[in-house]
């Protein structure tokens, strides 16, 4: 059986839906610290699970015959700057719990998300390579950099089959993101439908690596289905789709909603965004397990606006 820890989050929600589609509802146990997404909770097996509690995770794996874990619980970049020790505690201890259960064979396969946040101001900003300087300046980025080191260590030393992707900013409409620096790229679509205007907390030329959720979910399931011998990266794969600025998003929305207006009022998250690359080279992922993205900015905008129009007008 599959266990998703942090199933109520932005990625966890859609990962649960996709994995249930692939493996069957009863083979995918969703879990989170609370039941904040009731539709998900009522759609299939769900347990309240504290990702920081080793015994709770172990008991859940034993009771539900779990052999694969997707560990999606974390405090993201903006929240991590407000609560550094809580971010370290949750992001690192949840990873150790899952890796240690895999080390003793209680779990056979692990997915753990990393992020472009592992890169910092000294990293080459354009077409950032798979192997490069990583001096992250956010707590979240530090937890992802260290987490990657531990994943590679547990694979090389104990044979743990842990797989990871450095997600870019992810845009989706089924669940709101929580506490990220790239969240503007989700909020803007909701506001475009509701108010036909948006005030961006990042400046107009802040170019960041981004991806539509369907691509991120496809990459995750494809990586997890790949034959182990094809996987040459056990820290975390660079993953890329589109790079755009808030102005690019505004222009793609104006093409569908001409009266949409955008203003800019950068806040503390601007410094976080400025520490990250503008574009990522994911050639290794494309070579190792045939990764390819399907959504460009205009197609993503079309899908986002169509679905959110239904959501706010039904």
Q: What is the contact surface with ligand VAH in residues (CB under 6 A)? A: 76-77, 115-117, 140, 168-169, 177, 180-182
DSSP state of 116: G
Which CB, 91 or 182, lies closer to ligand VAH?
Answer: 182
- DSSP codes joined into one string, 213-263: HHHHHHHHHHHHHS-GGG---SS-EE--SEEE-HHHHHHHHHTT-TT-EEE
Which CB, 76 or 303, lies closer to ligand VAH?
Answer: 76
> Whole-number minimum distance, CB 182 to ligand VAH, in Å?
4
* Nearest-CB residue for ligand VAH: 180
> Whole-number minimum distance, CB 50 to ligand VAH, in Å?
22
List 70, 83, 140, 198, catalytic entry:
140
What pairs with residue 211 in β-bridges? 170
- DSSP codes joined into one string, 38-107: HHHHTTS-EEE--TT-HHHHHHHHHHTT--EEEE-----HHHHHHSHHHHHHHHHHHHHHHHHHHHTTS-
Q: Is 140 among the catalytic positions?
A: yes
> Whole-number minimum distance, CB 240 to ligand VAH, in Å?
12
Residue carrying the six token digits 């530090």: 142
Which CB, 81 or 191, lies closer to ligand VAH?
Answer: 81
Whole-number Å distance between alpha carbons of 190 and 204: 18
Which CB, 87 or 308, lies closer to ligand VAH?
Answer: 87
Per-residue CA distances from 92 to 151, 189, 292 (Å): 11, 32, 30
> Whole-number minimum distance, CB 181 to ligand VAH, in Å?
4
Which token pair is 266? 């950068």
Which CB, 161 or 274, lies closer to ligand VAH?
Answer: 274
> Whole-number minimum distance, CB 142 to ligand VAH, in Å?
13
Of 229, 64, 66, the closest CA to residue 161 belongs to: 229
Which token pair is 127? 């077409």
Of 283, 170, 277, 162, the closest CA to residue 216 belongs to: 170
Positions marked catalytic = 140
């Amino acid at each position: 059986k599959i266990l998703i820890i942090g199933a109520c989050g932005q990625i966890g929600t859609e990962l649960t839906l996709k994995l249930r589609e692939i493996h069957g509802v009863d083979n995918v146990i969703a879990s989170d610290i609370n039941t904040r997404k009731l539709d998900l909770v009522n759609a299939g097996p769900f347990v309240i699970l504290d990702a920081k509690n080793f015994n709770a995770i172990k008991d859940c794996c034993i009771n539900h015959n779990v052999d694969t874990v997707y560990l999606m619980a974390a405090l993201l970049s903006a929240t991590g700057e407000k609560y550094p020790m809580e971010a370290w505690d949750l992001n690192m201890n949840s990873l150790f719990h899952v890796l240690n259960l895999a080390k003793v064979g209680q779990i056979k396969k692990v997915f753990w998300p990393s992020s472009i946040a592992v890169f910092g101001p000294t990293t080459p900003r354009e077409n950032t390579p798979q192997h490069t300087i990583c001096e992250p300046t956010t707590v979240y980025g530090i937890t992802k950099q260290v987490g990657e080191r531990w994943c590679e260590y547990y694979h090389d030393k104990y044979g743990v089959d842990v797989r990871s992707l450095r997600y870019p900013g992810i845009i989706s409409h089924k669940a709101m993101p929580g506490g990220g620096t790239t969240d503007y790229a989700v909020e803007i679509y909701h506001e475009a439908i509701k108010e036909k205007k948006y005030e961006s907390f990042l400046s107009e030329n802040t170019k960041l690596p981004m991806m539509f959720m369907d691509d991120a979910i496809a990459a995750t399931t494809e990586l997890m289905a790949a034959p182990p011998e094809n996987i040459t990266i056990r820290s975390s794969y660079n993953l890329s789709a589109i790079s755009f600025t808030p102005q690019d998003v505004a222009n793609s929305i104006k093409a569908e909603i001409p009266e949409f207006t955008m203003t800019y009022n950068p806040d503390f998250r601007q410094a976080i965004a400025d520490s990250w690359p503008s574009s990522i080279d994911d050639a290794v992922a494309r070579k190792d397990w045939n990764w390819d993205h399907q959504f460009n900015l205009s197609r993503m905008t079309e899908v986002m606006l169509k679905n959110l129009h239904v959501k706010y007008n039904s």
